[in-house]
Amino acid sequence: MKNPPPYRRPYRDTQPPYLFPPYASTVKRAPSQPLVALPQTLSELTAPVFGYGDIKESDNDLTRQHKGEPQGERIVVSGRVLDENSRPLEGVLIEIWQANAAGRYNHRVDQHDAPLDPNFTGAGRVLTDREGRYRFMTIRPGEYPWRNHYNAWRPAHIHFSLFGQAIVQRLITQMYFPGDPLLEYDPMFTCVPDEKARNRLVSVFDWETTMPEYALGYRFDIVLRGREATPMETRR
């Protein structure tokens, strides 16, 4: 059997290092020994397939998971998932999670003195369509303090988890909001050496998806790794 073509290495400085002491938790968790080069075999070039049996259609609307409406500003978050060869990726499972409008997570570890919202869990999922498009309706998450350093605050963000067509495309990232003054002080954001790569984590305000008299739209496109050589077009 022919091995499928491998995926390109990440472009220089576009991915964070494991050890980044300004983000204190990396110090005891980053591997200390050299990584071993891994040839990409069938095991790395395949990935689980998810479908409409795995999620509900309403899973992409975080504002309608409870009896009442959540507090805060409704927003539409949408975009496309492509690979580095500009190919739209269909059937990508996207899982998101976030704090509520007050900057509090619905999680036992979060002890921030801000109210929980009984009408907001903060979790959603969706599958991309044929053009790689996805769309969530949610609430703009609040900023919140954390204990990494004195007076540390996380900029507003939404966590994203994505499965591609190969295990080496698996990606977990965070989406930020344009103009957030906290970004430049945030070690999770500044850990990425390449400034352009960093700024691609910031969503763009989008008139086209903004819903009149209802919700502002933000666009966040995500690019997963692409193959070294583009194979013959195969649709799953």
* Subset of residues 96 to 115 that bind another protein, contact rule: CB under 8 A: 96-99, 105-107, 109-110
- Region 130-189 residues binding another protein, contact defined as CB under 8 A: 159, 161, 165-168, 170-174, 188
Tell me, yes or no, if 159 is annotated catalytic. Answer: yes
State the minimum distance, in angstroms, from the CB of residue 38 to another protein: 4
End-to-end Cα, the chain, rounded Å:
19
166 closest CA partner among 14, 18, 33, 40: 40
Q: Which residue stretch of 70-78, 80-88, 126-134, 206-214 sits at the interface with another protein (rule: CB under 8 A)? A: 80-88
Say if CB 103 and CB 111 are below 8 A apart: no
Instruction: Name the residue among 7, 13, 9 with its Cα closest to residue 197.
Output: 13
Residues 70, 73, 78, 84: what is their CA dihedral angle, to the nearest 10 degrees? -110
Catalytic annotation, pick one of 7, 23, 144, 218: 144
CB of 212 to another protein, least distance (A): 30
Interacting residue with another protein among 22, 69, 86, 145 (CB under 8 A): 86
150 is catalytic: no
Which pairing describes strands 74-83 and 222-224: parallel, antiparallel, or unpaired?
Answer: parallel
The CB-of-63 to another protein minimum distance in angstroms stands at 16
Residues marked as catalytic = 105, 144, 154, 157, 159
